[in-house]
Structure 1
Amino acid sequence: MAANEDQEMELEALRSIYEGDDSFKELGPSSFQYRVGDIGDAKAFLIEISWPETYPETAPNISMNAFFNNQISPSVKHSILKKLQEEVEANLGTAMTYTLFEYAKDNKEELMENHQPFNNVISLIGCESTSEATHANLSSKKKEKKEQLTKAQKKKLADKTDHKGELPRGWNWVDVIKQLSKTGSSNDDE
């Protein structure tokens, strides 16, 4: 049971540290993703870490099989995983998910030094005018992805909004009365 307690503590720490960080994603209570680099960055990559039941006494599972990493060659992925595995061995027995994500962030350039961006490969294969046209088409097709909502989330949102789909005035206001009563009661105690 000690491993589960360690996992709970690490889970709380990760949630606290990465709160509001768009690069971090909790896939489940023992599975996490972190995007190293910005979305438009050719050297950005995604690391997925999942904990086995006996983690942190045993190594976490580290994967780079996410679709986001399809532009990265297998040799570069293998190199990144090898370096992360060295970090795992150095930190075995301790909570290391944060350490692994931060190591990847701090060493992004070194980890991706042999990476050839997809557009460079195209210009080597075809003529430059073709690659420029392809690049222009790819960048024009890139649009900001909308967040997908479940039916329940859509229904809940529809219940909160008016006929125009807008939230009512004051939906995010702080309840001043509650705040005043809390501060008033704490002042009375002093």
Structure 2
Amino acid sequence: MTANEDQEMELEALRSIYEGDECFKEISPVSFQFRIGDLEDSKAFMVDFTWPETYPETAPQISLDAFFNNRISPETKQQILSKMEEQVEANLGTAMMYTLFEWAKENQEALMENHRPVVTAVTLTSSSDVTTTSTAKKKEKKEQLTKAQKRRMISRTDNKGELPRGWNWVDVIK
């Protein structure tokens, strides 16, 4: 079997196994994302896998660069990658995606044992800044016209949408 036939068979198997699973996402026929853990779990992480041309004979590219992983420290990411690469080396030459996904799910606690959430700085604005911007937004709201007002406006215009000359002149003679 060629590498492409192996990839097609494994892709078909992954699609059937993880159909409807919100943790698995197929980005392209050779690129996948798999979330380990629940969304609310602080120790959850997302792994990106990309198959090279010669997969499964060569190792897939593994990445933890997803935005979902921003709260994980670089040291923890490196530890996860090294342990995943050990599993890849052990399974080289075979279809390994399902094996890697299940291994990561089973060993989530061990992979995230040294996890310290990264706290990003959040700048808060004063309450006076917030109120001035909210009132400014309210003033920008466009006035809504009723159907009757729209009809009157249309009846005053010509076929080009322009008002005739003198439409707002005051009749002084009356």
Identity %: 70
Q: Once the 2 structures are TM-superposed, how far is the Cα of residue 3 of structure 1 from its aligned partner?
A: 0.2
Question: Any residues of structure 2 matched to 1:71-86 within 5 Å, and which?
Answer: 71-86=71-86
Matches of 2:23 and 2:44, distance apart in 1: 11
Matches of 1:47 and 1:97, distance apart in 2: 11
Structure 1 moving runs of 4+ over 6 Å: none
Matches of 2:92 and 2:113, distance apart in 1: 27
3-state SS of paired residue (2:89): helix
Q: Which residue identity is paired with 1:60?
A: P
Gaps of 5+ in 2: 121-174
Q: Deviations over 1:82-128 (max 9, x none)?
A: 0000000000000111111111100000000000134xx69xxxxxx
Question: Any residues of structure 2 matched to 1:130-169 within 5 Å, and which?
Answer: none
Q: Which residue identity is paired with 1:24?
A: F
3-state SS of paired residue (1:52): coil
Q: Deviations over 1:30-51 (max 9, x none)?
A: 0000000111110000001010
Counterpart position of 2:30:
30
TM-score by length of 2: 0.67
Structure with greater helix share of residues: 1
Return 96-105 or 6-15, whichever deviates more. 96-105
Greater length-normalized contact order (CA 8 Å, ≥ 6 residues apart): 2
Gaps of 5+ in 1: 123-190
Counterpart position of 1:92:
92
> Are the counterparts in 1 of residues 73 and 117 from structure 2 also a CA contact under 8 Å?
no
Q: Once the 2 structures are TM-superposed, how far is the Cα of residue 76 of structure 1 from its aligned partner?
A: 0.3
Cα RMSD over matched residues? 1.3
